[in-house]
Structure 1
Amino acid sequence: MRIFIIDDDPFIRHLMGHQLSELSQAQVYEFDGGVSAMDAITREHHADDLIICDLHMPDKDGVELVRELGQIGFKGGLVLVSGEDARILQTVERLAQGLGLRLLDALQKPVSRHRLEQILQLNRERDLPQTRRKAPPLPANELKQALSRNELINHYQPKVSVRSGEVTGVETLVRWDHPRDGLIYPDRFIAQAEELGLMDPLTFAVLRRALDDAARWHQQGIELQVAVNISMDNLDALDFPERIEHELKQRGLPPTSLMLEVTESRLMRNRLESMDILSRLRLKRVGLSIDDFGTGHSSLAQLRDLPFNELKIDQSFVHGVSHHASLRSIFEGCLSMAQKLGLHTVAEGVEDATDWAFLQYSGCDTAQGWFIARAMPPEQLPHWLQQWQQRRTALIQPAEE
């Protein structure tokens, strides 16, 4: 393992170098500018390398360095540090994630010895959530064939009560089991399905499989609410609530066992029809969640006009919330508003113990993210539930003391 410290302040650079040398057996290299550092990194870089980079440097600033690290496909860990405005740091953090870099943290100066120790541990784990580069969409005819051949499969990510740790439900996440390319994530085909008018058959393929799995779990004594994503494209047909009701009745499941997560990837085409359909779904006791709140087209107008009973706070406002003041303000604002409206709240993107610890005292109802579990095939869920019961005790006890 090698550590590259890039900072034009010699005192800070030497101090971090000294501390990191004491905390690890790694080779530590110090650079006073981005140009010399990139020359060294470009010649040779490895997945266990760690770069700690100041944003403000005279010859090549941290933003340029981040861009070039993305261009060379740097796979090591990256830590951004700055004495600048925290909002600048957060913007560069999003840039690094968007470029597919393995960003371990973005920190205000000065960086404590304890935090450096935590960063070293994170870099050793080398299994952090990261933004995947978007691959090009697949040909339209392949998506149509996938639907006809039942190549779409469901994975499920658990949702747990922040207060008790009880598993309350799962979110359904569709995958394409492609015969040539293997498992394909929805960012490569959902937008295309919307453009091709395939969202209705795709949604019902996912829904039917999810309800089949929910019925199977029910037979095993596992009672879970299943959340399924729907698009605004699904809200064009007035008989949509009756079709949902029919699928539930066929499997003997109560309407409350289903939560429909509404994602506005684009604006409503017919607002009045959407209000009609969503109101009737709630009258039938099907749950409605506004997904990824605070991003895309999700807005206060949706909370005003549509009968949601759950609000999901987007992961971009959750992960790292404990040590970013602006994120914390946004998170607490969303939470307070949802609570005043009587909405159940879900925090997405709970990725580490720090995120979880923050939620324990936040007043949020439910948590979801990699810290709890990654999405998994349906057959793995019963075994995971047994493992979670063991973890649950250790995670909840501190909050009860």
Structure 2
Amino acid sequence: MVDPTNHNPAIDVLVVDDDPVQGAIVSGVCTKLGYRPHFASSYHEAAARLATGRFDYITIDLSLGDHDGIELLRLIAETGAKPRRIIVISGCEERILNATVRMAHAVGMLDTISLPKPIDLALLRGALAPFQEAAASRRGVDSRLSEITADDLRRGLDRGEVYAAFQPKIDLSTGKVTGCEALARWDSATFGPVGPDVFIPLAEQGGLIKTMTLRMLRDSMTFAAAFLPTEPKFVVAVNLSATLLSDTSLPEEVERLLAEIGVPARSLMIEVTETTAMADVGRAMDVLLRLRLKGIGISMDDFGTGYSSLSALARMPFSELKIDRSFVKDCLTDADMWKIVSSSVAIAHQYNMKVVAEGIEDAATWHALDALGCDIGQGFEFSRALRQDAFVEWYHGWMARPPATRAAVVPLQREA
């Protein structure tokens, strides 16, 4: 049993398998890595352990007798105390394993991976390795962040602790920088770095989201203005909350900011998720249409992750489509993901929309997407999100590279 009050930095792993031999093998690997394995031979035993403690990793065999691993994944998602990583282990066919991982992603467990049986111990060790340092401090961090209130965020805004970081967007065929996405960051003097998954809901609940968004817009437009003399087609993208899509005064406020800073409307892209856009179609259509009439671009973010993607695409005045990273990151190894990505590119082009792929993490994915006809990419292959000065430094370094190294010169062909 794991003591939830224990602050020992040891890493706890819950090993769930109805085969004691397999469980012993996995537990042995954990022990050699210096972790503390906790074995559960059934769904019910695993549920009891989850009710009394928290785990940094969980390995799950999909076949668990009367219950199965899918039921356990659902239970973990409902507990709210999610591990850093879940490793699904099974002898099932590859498509079942892939679908299981996608199901886990859909219910919020984004770092779920699968390993086939018979298990490769080297692969298991690699799967258990990435979060050793983060897991050691996670319990204390989670407890500290849970104490943050909207008043703390308000003070952080007043002190200038909330700022925009910018992730580059790259033309996949030429390697040129086309713009960036502005991402809100909060470095709190009291709590340290606070993730947007924590402070964005606080901003919405505390009535601070409009203040934060207008600040992001102002900082982003000012940032774009500095690039326009050398990159006339530079576009900065800013995310828009569902709350603001019902604010019919927003288009005029954005237009005033553009005029004040001296940035053309074409240099701004507003990103909204399909779920946000479809929450109140009438008001959203009002705001989005007026933004488009002013020459501002509208991007459909996280395409494919909701329930009404095609309906939103057909009804809303989008000019850009962003393919969610959950489809992009595995598209070269998962045939189903590749089909979704290639279909998304084709559909967007039929609507005369630019296509952006999020989550490009290697050159092979870059080349494959370029060969597919995807227009723009962003991801760690190019750069993480950077503060303004760091972005400028990165930009000069990127542009100083020979053009051939900034373009997908040897496309990787892939059958759909």
State whether TM-score is above 0.5. Answer: yes
Select which of 54, 67, 91 maps to 2:100.
91
Q: Does 1:274 align with 2:288?
A: no
Per the TM alignment, residue 46 of structure 1 is displaced from its structure 2 partner at its CA by 4.8
Unaligned runs of at least 5 residues, structure 1: 1-5, 9-30
Does residue 394 of structure 2 align to residue 370 of structure 1? Answer: no
Q: Which amino acid aligns with 2:175?
A: G
Deviation at 1:161, TM superposition (A): 0.8
Do residues 396 (structure 1) and 408 (structure 2) align? yes
SS in 1 for 2:295: coil
**2:28 equivalent to 1:40:** yes
SS of 1:292 mapped into structure 2: strand
Partner of 1:164: 174
Percent identity over the alignment?
A: 33
Q: Report if the CA contact (8 A) 1:160-1:367 is conserved.
A: yes
What secondary structure is seen at the aligned counterpart in 2 of 1:295?
coil
Taking a change above 3 Å as real, the CA distance of residues 374 and 330 of structure 1, as seen in their structure-2 partners, is same
- For residues 372 and 65 of structure 1, the distance between their equivalents in structure 2, rounded to whole angstroms, comes to 37
Aligned pairs for 1:32-71 (under 5 A) are 33-46=21-34
Q: Residue deviations 1:14-69, cap 9 Å, x none?
A: xxxxxxxxxxxxxxxxx99432124324545259xxx9x9956788988799999x
**Alpha-carbon distance, 1:102 to partner:** 6.6
1:242/1:297 Cα in 2 relative to 1: closer, same or farther (>3 Å)? farther
Aligned to 1:177: 187
| TM-score for the superposition, normalised by structure 2 | 0.72
User: Equivalents in 2 of 1:238, 1:55: separation in Å?
Assistant: 51
Cα distance between partner residues in 2 of 1:121 and 1:150: 42
State the TM-score, normalized to the length of structure 1. 0.75
1:325-369 deviation line (CA, Å, top 9, x unaligned): 111121122121111111110011112233223212111111111
CA distance in 1 between counterparts of 2:288 and 2:94 reads 42
- Of 318, 334, 344, the match for 1:324: 334
Per-residue deviation, 1:150? 2.4
Which residues of structure 2 form unaligned runs of 5+? 1-14, 36-56
RMSD: 4.4
SS at match of 2:237: strand
Alpha-carbon distance between aligned partners in 1 of 2:317 and 2:149, rounded to the nearest angstrom: 37
Distance 1:72 1:36 in 2: 25
**C-alpha deviation, 1:382, in angstroms:** 2.0
Q: Matched residue of 2:301: which SS?
A: strand
In 2, the alpha carbon distance for the partners of 1:305 and 1:80 equals 42
**Alpha-carbon spacing, 1:259–1:76, altered in 2? closer, same or farther (3 Å):** closer
- Residue identity opposite 2:409 in structure 1: Q
The answer to whether residue 272 in structure 2 is matched with residue 284 in structure 1 is: no
Kindly indicate whether the alpha-carbon contact (under 8 Å) linking 1:241 and 1:281 is maintained by their aligned counterparts in 2: yes
Equivalent residue runs for 1:2-401 within 5 Å: 33-46=21-34, 82-92=91-101, 95=104, 106=114, 136=146, 138-218=148-228, 224-264=234-274, 266=276, 270-296=280-306, 299-389=309-399, 390=401, 393-394=404-405, 395-399=407-411
Structure 2 counterpart SS, 1:248 = helix
Q: 2:98 & 2:412 partners in 1: Cα distance?
A: 35
Contact 1:80-1:106 at 8 Å conserved across structures: yes
Question: Counterparts of 1:187 and 1:319 in 2: how far apart (Å)?
Answer: 21
Measured after TM superposition, the shift of residue 149 of structure 1 is 2.6
Q: Closer, same or farther in 2 for the Cα pair 1:303/1:208, shift >3 Å?
A: same
Q: Report Cα offsets for 1:107-154 as digits up to 9, x if no partner.
A: 67899x9xx99x7998799599x9999864721211222223322111
Query: Are the structure 2 counterparts of residues 381 and 179 from structure 1 closer, same or farther at C-alpha, using a change threshold of 3 Å?
Result: same
Query: 2:317 aligns to what SS in structure 1?
Result: coil
* Contact 1:228 1:260 (8 Å CA) reproduced: yes
Task: Give the aligned residue type for 2:95.
Answer: A
Counterpart CA distance in 2 for 1:150 and 1:219 is: 28
1:221/1:125 Cα in 2 relative to 1: closer, same or farther (>3 Å)? farther
**1:273–1:266 distance in 2 versus 1, CA, 3 Å:** closer
Residue identity in the other structure for 2:200: I
- Matched residues in 1 for 2:325 and 2:275: separation? 16
